[in-house]
Amino acid sequence: MKNVLVLLLIAFVLSACNQQEEIPDKSELEKQEGIVALKRERNAGRPNDQFLLIPNITAEDIASKTKKEIVTMAQEKNGAYYGVSTDEYDEIEIGTKVVVYWGNGQEDSIPPQRIASIIEKVSK
């Protein structure tokens, strides 16, 4: 009976060791580069903190714009909202240039909403 318990314990420990967090392979993800234009905190209808990424603009392009103007710009330039963890949300500042890698799924809204898998800061 002791041998069976020891074997079960060893099997349990070994199986737990194999459950490491997998880092996504960038080659299997979609990629978008741009400027962080807006940030919005999670609420009852949105389970993640999000930032709005707009490609092919500069930080100066959004400096004097209203929220509505920025969202319109994002719609015109294929921008997207990216859901991130609270820690990532707190680290990212508006005006920062980033590259976001994301999976294929997205919510059908304009701009679309996606979940960021990897975020790389390019510059401030």
66-112, pLDDT tens digit by residue?
999 999 999 999 999 999 999 999 999 999 999 999 987 888 899 99
Q: Where are the domains of the chain?
A: 28-123
Q: Which residue's structure tokens are 């510059």?
A: 123
Report yes or no: 119 and 93 within 8 Å, Cβ to Cβ: no
Residue ranges of alpha helices (H) inside the chain are 2-17, 59-62, 67-76, 86-91
pLDDT 10s digits, 16-30: 444 445 667 788 899
Give the predicted TM-score (pTM) of the model.
0.77
Q: Which CATH number is associated with domain 28-123?
A: 2.40.50.140
Sign of CA dihedral 10, 12, 15, 21: negative
Closest CA to 122 of 80, 93, 83: 93
